[in-house]
Amino acid sequence: MSARSDFLALDARSSDLAERYRAVREASRALGSHLSDADATVQSMPDASPAKWHLAHTTWFFETMILKERVPGYRVFDESYNFLFNSYYETVGERQPRARRGMVTRPSLEEVFAYRAHVDEAMDRLLSEGPDAEVAELVGLGCQHEQQHQELLLTDILHLFSQNPLKPAFKDPGPVAVEGGEPEPANFVSFEGGIVEIGHDGEGFAFDCEGPRHRTLIEPYRLSDRLVTNGEWIAFIEDGGYRDPLLWLSAGWADVKENGWSMPFYWEKRGGDYWTMTLRGFQPVDRSAPVTHLSYFEADAFAAWAGKRLPSEAEWENAAAGVPMEGNFADTGRLRPKPAGGREEGTGLRQMFGDCWEWTRSAFLPYPGFKAAPGAVGEYNGKFMCGQFVLRGGSCATPPGHIRRTYRNFFPPEARWQFTGLRLAEDG
């Protein structure tokens, strides 16, 4: 099955909600079809969830938030699933601890697919009847939520397979061509300072944390036209970047010392060459492709080493305003970052979307005027606005159609298993 059939871009303006729902659900099913029951059950670390859990949790969302509340006579598939597949919704009830999701050896993957079919059948009936605006909004949220978990399923499987001594591939074990050599030096594109507007304007879908749209002041700045490459990161390594405490934030240096960081996550050195684990198996590092699987601390240290800094999320969004939302997303089938291509006409920027999520220097905090939604869905983003940093732009594992210029991804600064990289900035 081709990767392009595994993912289907969603038009946020489409009036056919049932078609959008089915497309997202089929994309998840296709991802799960690559896996054995054992693949889908094992949990490789507390921050990662089994693939089977992702497939069931996204189904639980539709059952709990929509069907149980709004469809009289709906028959719950299994009452125990509310405990097994709730994630962090305190208002919905008790749940299996996150770090022990891998202990749920049953239900099997086959039974989870049966659960999905049961919920899909009920959702199809509901959608065929023409849901009201509130239900339609919840279905849209559920589809976007499931697309988030499609990406998490891929990144969590990558971590799991990296622990396997056989280094299996999730898809197409044949190697992706390595371009070789270094790309041309990065150019820095200038942007004027002043009062700019950022945040979602209310047209079409957005997560609550993307708004409200508001004014903010930025100073003149310059932004690199491309992402930092593996080759540039190797220069950082070989210049002692992981051994120089002057480059690091205090908490980051503590992580370097405690965890023995000496290169990006998944990298190994074999016979003098750098190799990395990918969704297509264990592969040589492509020096011309963007570096990824970095913590915020590593990105910040590299920027200090390069004499630059990370952009703020306002700077990033302001720069992305005229850039088409096109790039190396999951539907390309590559499933790893690719070298920069030509510059976007009229912007001078490359790789603003896809390849890898870009760390910004901005903490994940509420925008002015932000209010969490009432009820359980209000727990979706607002409760995490502490101790996280914002990432922008999407990655090679992000489903197409699941990105916006205003999209605010967020992770704690020590996180490394996601497709996270960086773009440099400097004062104008």
Dump the DSSP string for 131-172. Answer: --HHHHHHHHHHHHHHHHHHHHHHHHHHHHHHHSTT---SS-
**In terms of domains, do 248 and 153 share one?**
no
Which of these three, 163, 198, 226, is where a domain ends?
Answer: 163
Residue 427 has pLDDT above 50, yes or no: yes
**In terms of domains, do 357 and 219 share one?**
yes
170 belongs to a structural domain: no
273 belongs to a structural domain: yes
**In terms of domains, do 145 and 192 share one?**
no
Which of these three, 105, 128, 163, is where a domain ends?
Answer: 163
Q: What is the reported pLDDT for 172?
A: 74
Q: Report how many domains make up the chain.
A: 2
- Calculate mean pLDDT across residues 222-242: 97
Q: What is the reported pLDDT for 230?
A: 97
- Calculate mean pLDDT across residues 121-147: 94
Q: Around Cβ 148, how many Cβ atoms within 10 Å?
A: 16
pTM for the model: 0.93
**In terms of domains, do 124 and 198 share one?**
no
Tally: H helices and E strands in the chain? 12, 12
Percent with pLDDT over 90 in the chain: 83
Which one has a higher pLDDT value, 376 or 322? Answer: 322
**In terms of domains, do 72 and 123 share one?**
yes
List all residues 6 or more positions away from 64 whose beta carbon is below 8 Å from its beta carbon: 82, 86, 92, 376
242 belongs to a structural domain: yes
**In terms of domains, do 85 and 232 share one?**
no
Among the listed residues 160, 65, 54, 70, the one whose alpha carbon sits nearest the alpha carbon of residue 115: 54
Give bridge partners of residue 268 from the DSSP assignment: 275
Determine how β-strand 420-421 pairs with β-strand 357-363: parallel
Split at pLDDT 50, 70, 90, the class of 181 is low
**Residue 7 lies in domain:** 3-163
**In terms of domains, do 338 and 422 share one?**
yes
Percent with pLDDT over 70 in the chain: 93
Split at pLDDT 50, 70, 90, the class of 183 is confident
168 belongs to a structural domain: no
Which one has a higher pLDDT value, 43 or 204? Answer: 43
- CATH number of the domain at 235, please: 3.90.1580.10
Which of these three, 163, 180, 211, is where a domain ends?
Answer: 163
171 belongs to a structural domain: no
**In terms of domains, do 123 and 243 share one?**
no
**In terms of domains, do 192 and 136 share one?**
no
- Calculate mean pLDDT across residues 211-230: 98
Residues 339 and 146: their CA atoms lie apart, in Å, by: 29
Q: Give the least confident one: 134-143, 238-247, 354-363.
A: 134-143
Q: Give the least confident one: 11-15, 123-127, 146-150.
A: 11-15
Q: What is the reported pLDDT for 3?
A: 33
3 state DSSP class of 421? strand
Residues 66 and 72: their CA atoms lie apart, in Å, by: 11
247 belongs to a structural domain: yes
**In terms of domains, do 142 and 199 share one?**
no
**In terms of domains, do 16 and 101 share one?**
yes
**51-110 pLDDT, tens digit each:** 999 999 999 999 999 999 899 999 999 999 999 999 988 888 899 999 999 999 999 999
CB 240 within 8 A of CB 209: no
183 belongs to a structural domain: no
- Percent composition of the chain: helix, strand, coil (DSSP 3-state, to 5): 40, 15, 50
Split at pLDDT 50, 70, 90, the class of 344 is low
Residues 31 and 6: their CA atoms lie apart, in Å, by: 7
**In terms of domains, do 106 and 207 share one?**
no
